Structure 1
């Protein structure tokens, strides 16, 4: 019996424990989280919140097609807790960058992209710990404040979401956050700002922080102190944040875990590198490019940055002599890890140290655009993993060592614009099987590239740039083996042969061809596959063919002849012109013998930025419709993005030759808005079209040495971007328009040898034009800088009076001659008519004439007889 009681008591206790456990389990689940259907895991209030969020989104590719039914835990991008069924993860981020046009205007080119509004119902996802909405275009909406209520968040990614306004300080409530990415846009303008950054100090668990392209200018005096209070921070990205203050001292470095630091593209007002930066011993990646940093690179403690893999410091103003101590300090570690070293585009000098060869893990070495001198150090041959070697635009000299050919991993070899000499042979390329980019030039112009005619290179190049070398006289036959070329540039390379036919269709890929400044001969082909062509300064002959695929063309200084082919620009616009010439941005035909009119079909080239027809025989008037060229009126970019050009080394930047500011100049920069019209030295007649004043973004206008007449357009001051204006050697008349005083960017002006009159404007920019030669040949011009005093010339009123008098005199003279003619006609017919009609008057008139004739004859005879008698006596 006792045993039965004991057993019963034990069973009761066990049952009680089970009830207690179930009660605790039920209490652990919120009342609203009890699912209606045992087979449905999703919590109703959270499903409703997600459905409201879904209604605010535009999903043209049905990426969220699975968002149907009751169980939201099975929807794409949703993750639920296995214990409570609460939504703990919302991941709709995309790895692809969505295309944005015109700021918030969205173009859904990728199926992963979404757009729309962010519904505040998401704040009902109380248990959400992971939120990724990256690359969803929220179309410039204000930054959502309600996100600060999602206190369980550990991961928040709002990158490239196009939010605007001020980042909410309520994010400081997310004390569990370890990952925060708020990059607003891949566009250059900053649409987001931070007014108070102190909320970051609450995020003590933060490991990843990316505020790139967010305006932090209001926090620039204390941003470092705030960041230094985040002890767990491992990666920090603050590029393009508008920071101008880089503290030189930091009393206590708390960033012991920081492995990535990106401060690039902040103008730190000529600050130097602070010493504390090199005390971050855990650094793996350091980016301080485009920071306006100046001064010498500081000496650092030996072996202080042993974990460093990537050091990126280009586009600053670092100066000084040899970088030997700096390189030796970096290489002083027992285990070298450096993989990328970029000191390009600074003002560093001296010889390259031998210690560069100690970085045996180095994959990229960028030293372009400095003032380094001396030869390539022999220790470079030990960098067996080197993939990129960039030494362009320096003062290096000596011969190029043959061991370059043993760097088997090399894909980019950039030796452009140095003072090399000697000979480059096949040995220099012996084992460069991975080479895709090769550039070489020597300012001494004595470097010889000597390979056999039947040489087959081991590599397959995409870009080859050779300039100022002795490559010719034969055309390099080895190029025929390169089937993946995107760019061929053989400038001033002593090639005097005929261009082989195989070159014109070498590749099916879009291609750039620059063979300028050689002695190439022969006719141009009827077709070719290139998009960018420069064949200037050669001896090419024949007429200009139809190349509709070309977007850049320069053929100046050749022996071309004949008119522009009529099948390029017909009297009526061809239907194919929009498809086959859609993106031509530069049209250069300078220095040939082209004739005929400038056809109006040019005006349909909406992307045209440079029109250069100088030094030809074009005739007729300037087409009025040139004032409609959209590329000279609005911000129409070249096909080469300026952002892309900025990211490339200087070797790869496009170049442009312009006749501007009185001289021919070669521009090496990000080619953007170098807008130019040059029609000089032709036989153009008529007036300068008023419509040209609509080209508000025109950089250069040169109409000199033509036969233009009429006045300078009154609204010339509307060309706000004009820097160069040359109207010399024409037949222009009238005053210089006062509106030209508003051309504040005008730095070169030439109005000489016309028939201009009146005072020279003296306001604004004209005060800087002190050279009288720019006005000479205009005898009726007066005022500084000419010595002619305007008081000695007729004033405007006097001139008008004189003009009126002259006009009145001319009118009176005309009527005088008219009256004389009419009087003669009337008098003649009065006399002769009466004689014809009246017979008695006719007889009387003729009798009178005969009588007078006889009397005159008798008088002459008598006088002659008397005179003869006197002579005989």
Structure 2
């Protein structure tokens, strides 16, 4: 009994001690809370947050509320109502640029991003041991590593580090976060990589996992290797609670399809987009997951047909098969997929009628489908009338197909429709107000590149307020649509080639003052623009190819792309060009006069400048500051110099004077340069290859340049179009031109950044307009109408990709090189009006691409070569005229009776008879002349025939002299070339 009592006494004492310890511990915690907290914020956690803030750059002031003693009231900070500990830190940057399928507005910048000024993140956050929710997504932490100390935050349930500018290896210590349910370390342009995922299965409670855009590498060999995808899936397969798995852009391959059966029985969302499986879709592992609600497989190299297994996925709400090599219709067994909401089939080769495709969609889902995207799927036929019964449709996009017929009136009853894109089809017929009657939520409308005509009453008020409207090539005119006046929310407006023949109304500049993109090009719009457009917000304004008059207005301050070309603007350019953000400026083919204002030099961001086809005078703008002898020339090429970023410059067809523009020494990126048809003088500079190494097209024809052709032009490795015709260039043709790389080998990588449109090219003896796409493929060498001497270098035959070679109207001598037959791509060859001699090379007959040849007015002799290509050329006789020593077809001179090559010699023994011979010839000439003269006095017809012969000879001499003079001087600047 005593022993028993002692036992109970000891037990009671133990219980009492535990109670006392518990009360004491509670009291200590209470004292800690009482002494360490102000309001509801624990002091050391507040200090940790302030330390964290001190290490950040915050340009937008997002953390401006982080002051005072109560940190629980700070923006983004959440505290527990019971303990007062910081349990939530949400610093997500909601202005991070996104990439939605259809971007309805301009993208945000990253001004709101937080970034590191010093690395204190790990130390500060480690003090927040009760943290359950941490979101740093959408910021930019300067490529720093994810702090290892994050692995000590054992209470974390939610961790989002996506798109935050972290880089380096993902620490394996994240595997210590055993309470974690949500982990997102993915995001675009991530610099993060993984070497080992052994830590991942320890996160057994995970329901959300996003590893998108991570680089999976292994250092088992010297080079970094892709980790086997089977290993990746094996690790993920242990997360039995996983509901959402995103592995976008992880470099996954088809080995994933060959892995063992998946254990992810709770999986609802699977995103494998932007990988490269390069395998059939039919036998993939995920078809066993019939509970999937969202399946994203876009742009991952799947091919073959869409398998019948899709019909078993009865829970699917989202299907994204876009941007793959899939072929054919969807299966016919989808009748049980009644929950479908989003269907993306962009660039799937359906190759059937859209009506047949719609018939295979489950009828039970017609009221649930919200997004139907079928762009570029080769669907044909007419839009079915039944489309009007898909009442939940928010997005209908079927652009770039071959859909015909008219738009059904039922489209107008889709009250939830936000996006309607029918562009690039073969639709026709009328669009009336009933097509839009119920579209009160419409924000995006694109009907461009069809043959539809819109017919509505002048006073029609649309039910929608659009953000984006594209009606290019739709017939809206001739009057300017008044209903546009109500579209005050427009950000993007395209009315190009819309058959408008009217004056731009004054309200246009008010209604669309906040729009970022305005295009009304290719119409017949008349009148003048407002004198000042600085109130406009537009960054792109395209009004080219109209009939606009008046002066060029003061430009919108934020404008970056302006095209007013091919109008009738006159007067001088604005003296102040304050649009410092301009990248594209085209005022070509107008009637602008005066000089180029010096304020043009402030436009240092220009990528393309086209002032061609005007009446500009004076020196080319002097945007140049000479450095003194002690300064470095590096400042010349600095980024703030005018022309430093320019790709294309066209000043041709004006009346500009002065020397070759010196500011081009800053144009290290220039690819296209056209200074032709001006009055520029001086020599071609030797610094061209050094200062403009990427130059592809150089046109300086019809100026007054003199001197020799710079031999170092050969260092322009991309130059494939050189035109220096109609100048005063002298000296020999440098044989080193044969080293021009782009003329020696066919290159498919040449790309040139120029404005869309046509440019005039002199080739095949004619002036022709070519699009820039064709222009950049031409290989041209035109040195005609100069004062070049010497022989044609044989080495020019190395330029085997030449399509046009023109050396006419110079003073070249010697023979035509026989190697010229090696120029197998040559389409036009002009060697006329020189002093070439000898025979025509027979190798010319091997030029199967030749369509124009001119060898006239030289000293060529011998038999004209034969060949089917030469005999198929036009104007056969004109090719060889002016070469009296030539014979054979097509000339009338027969080679069998020709004395060509035969020399008449007088022997020594007959020398005594030479003088009497000449005396007798002279007497005979006089007697014969008087006989003919006296005869003509009595024969009127003979007199007329004689003087007609004299007139014909005079005409031929006159044409030759006039042509030669024209080649020695500049043509009138008003001609186009």
Residue in structure 1 matched with residue 89 of structure 2 by the alignment: 91
Residue in structure 2 matched with residue 332 of structure 1 by the alignment: 335
The answer as to whether partners of 1:465 and 1:490 remain within 8 angstroms in 2 is yes
Q: Where in structure 2 are the equivalents of 1:127-146 lying within 5 Å?
A: 128-134=131-137, 137-146=140-149
Equivalent of 1:482 in 482, 487, 502: 487
The answer as to whether partners of 2:612 and 2:650 remain within 8 angstroms in 1 is yes
Residue in structure 2 matched with residue 784 of structure 1 by the alignment: 796
- Shift of the alpha carbon at 1:170? 2.5
The answer as to whether partners of 2:138 and 2:162 remain within 8 angstroms in 1 is yes
The answer as to whether partners of 2:649 and 2:674 remain within 8 angstroms in 1 is yes
Residue in structure 2 matched with residue 534 of structure 1 by the alignment: 542
Q: Whole-Å Cα distance in 2 between the matches of residues 387 and 43 of structure 1?
A: 49
Q: Where in structure 2 are the equivalents of 1:70-109 lying within 5 Å?
A: 87=85, 89-97=87-95, 109=111
CA deviations on 1:79-109 (whole Å, 9 max, x unpaired) are 77788x5957252433534799xxxxxx995
- Shift of the alpha carbon at 1:297? 4.2
Equivalent of 1:398 in 392, 405, 416: 405
Query: Could you tell which deviates more after superposition, 275-284 or 486-495?
Result: 275-284
Residue in structure 1 matched with residue 459 of structure 2 by the alignment: 454
Residue in structure 1 matched with residue 661 of structure 2 by the alignment: 689
Q: Closer, same or farther in 2 for the Cα pair 1:730/1:738, shift >3 Å?
A: same
Residue in structure 2 matched with residue 762 of structure 1 by the alignment: 739
Residue in structure 1 matched with residue 848 of structure 2 by the alignment: none
Q: Secondary structure at the match of 1:171?
A: helix
Q: Secondary structure at the match of 1:354?
A: helix
Residue in structure 2 matched with residue 264 of structure 1 by the alignment: 273
- Shift of the alpha carbon at 1:178? 1.9
Uncovered stretches (5+) of structure 2, i.e. residues with no partner: 99-108, 218-224, 627-634, 748-777, 800-804, 816-977
Residue in structure 2 matched with residue 610 of structure 1 by the alignment: 608
Q: Closer, same or farther in 2 for the Cα pair 1:545/1:723, shift >3 Å?
A: same
Q: Closer, same or farther in 2 for the Cα pair 1:34/1:519, shift >3 Å?
A: closer
Q: Secondary structure at the match of 2:657?
A: strand
Q: Secondary structure at the match of 1:684?
A: strand
Residue in structure 2 matched with residue 864 of structure 1 by the alignment: none
Q: Are 2:178 and 1:170 aligned? A: no
Q: Closer, same or farther in 2 for the Cα pair 1:393/1:733, shift >3 Å?
A: farther
Query: Could you tell which deviates more after superposition, 783-792 or 607-616?
Result: 783-792
Q: Are 2:678 and 1:706 aligned? A: yes
Q: Are 2:261 and 1:252 aligned? A: yes
- Shift of the alpha carbon at 1:139? 3.3
The answer as to whether partners of 1:34 and 1:43 remain within 8 angstroms in 2 is no
Residue in structure 1 matched with residue 345 of structure 2 by the alignment: 343
- Shift of the alpha carbon at 1:127? 5.5
The answer as to whether partners of 1:497 and 1:519 remain within 8 angstroms in 2 is yes
Q: Whole-Å Cα distance in 2 between the matches of residues 706 and 206 of structure 1?
A: 72
- Shift of the alpha carbon at 1:348? 4.3
CA deviations on 1:777-824 (whole Å, 9 max, x unpaired) are 16457332479999979xxxxxxxxxxxxxxxxxxxxxxxxxxxxxxx
The answer as to whether partners of 2:472 and 2:497 remain within 8 angstroms in 1 is yes
- Shift of the alpha carbon at 1:333? 1.8
The answer as to whether partners of 1:689 and 1:713 remain within 8 angstroms in 2 is no
Residue in structure 2 matched with residue 464 of structure 1 by the alignment: 469
Q: Closer, same or farther in 2 for the Cα pair 1:484/1:27, shift >3 Å?
A: same
Q: Whole-Å Cα distance in 1 between the matches of residues 73 and 147 of structure 2?
A: 27
The answer as to whether partners of 1:416 and 1:442 remain within 8 angstroms in 2 is yes
Q: Are 2:329 and 1:306 aligned? A: no
Q: Are 2:292 and 1:289 aligned? A: no
Report which of the two structures shows the higher radius of gyration computed on alpha carbons: 1
Equivalent of 1:726 in 699, 711, 716: 699
Q: Closer, same or farther in 2 for the Cα pair 1:395/1:203, shift >3 Å?
A: same
Q: Whole-Å Cα distance in 1 between the matches of residues 250 and 14 of structure 2?
A: 60
Q: Closer, same or farther in 2 for the Cα pair 1:674/1:620, shift >3 Å?
A: closer
Q: Closer, same or farther in 2 for the Cα pair 1:302/1:622, shift >3 Å?
A: same
Q: Secondary structure at the match of 2:379?
A: strand
Residue in structure 2 matched with residue 421 of structure 1 by the alignment: 428
Aligned length, in residue pairs: 719
Q: Closer, same or farther in 2 for the Cα pair 1:527/1:124, shift >3 Å?
A: closer
Q: Whole-Å Cα distance in 2 between the matches of residues 545 and 28 of structure 1?
A: 79
CA deviations on 1:320-376 (whole Å, 9 max, x unpaired) are 34x242xx44x4225x22222222245543222123473321112222234222111
Q: Are 2:224 and 1:233 aligned? A: no
Q: Whole-Å Cα distance in 2 between the matches of residues 715 and 66 of structure 1?
A: 58
Q: Closer, same or farther in 2 for the Cα pair 1:471/1:261, shift >3 Å?
A: same
CA deviations on 1:739-789 (whole Å, 9 max, x unpaired) are 655555556554555537312141533423798752341645733247999
Q: Closer, same or farther in 2 for the Cα pair 1:239/1:560, shift >3 Å?
A: same
Q: Whole-Å Cα distance in 2 between the matches of residues 393 and 708 of structure 1?
A: 48
Q: Whole-Å Cα distance in 2 between the matches of residues 130 and 598 of structure 1?
A: 61
Q: Are 2:22 and 1:25 aligned? A: yes
TM-score relative to the length of structure 1 = 0.72
CA deviations on 1:612-634 (whole Å, 9 max, x unpaired) are 11222223333242899x99986
Query: Could you tell which deviates more after superposition, 15-24 or 304-313?
Result: 15-24
Q: Where in structure 2 are the equivalents of 1:486-497 lying within 5 Å?
A: 486-497=491-502
- Shift of the alpha carbon at 1:122? 4.5
Q: Are 2:551 and 1:543 aligned? A: yes
Q: Whole-Å Cα distance in 2 between the matches of residues 493 and 268 of structure 1?
A: 44
Q: Whole-Å Cα distance in 1 between the matches of residues 44 and 560 of structure 2?
A: 58
- Shift of the alpha carbon at 1:46? 6.9
Residue in structure 2 matched with residue 600 of structure 1 by the alignment: 598
Q: Whole-Å Cα distance in 1 between the matches of residues 609 and 616 of structure 2?
A: 13
Residue in structure 2 matched with residue 679 of structure 1 by the alignment: 651
Q: Closer, same or farther in 2 for the Cα pair 1:481/1:159, shift >3 Å?
A: closer
Q: Closer, same or farther in 2 for the Cα pair 1:277/1:694, shift >3 Å?
A: farther
Residue in structure 1 matched with residue 369 of structure 2 by the alignment: 362
Residue in structure 2 matched with residue 103 of structure 1 by the alignment: none
Q: Closer, same or farther in 2 for the Cα pair 1:402/1:515, shift >3 Å?
A: same
The answer as to whether partners of 2:278 and 2:303 remain within 8 angstroms in 1 is no
Q: Closer, same or farther in 2 for the Cα pair 1:40/1:720, shift >3 Å?
A: same
- Shift of the alpha carbon at 1:449? 1.8
Q: Whole-Å Cα distance in 1 between the matches of residues 226 and 199 of structure 2?
A: 12
The answer as to whether partners of 2:122 and 2:147 remain within 8 angstroms in 1 is no
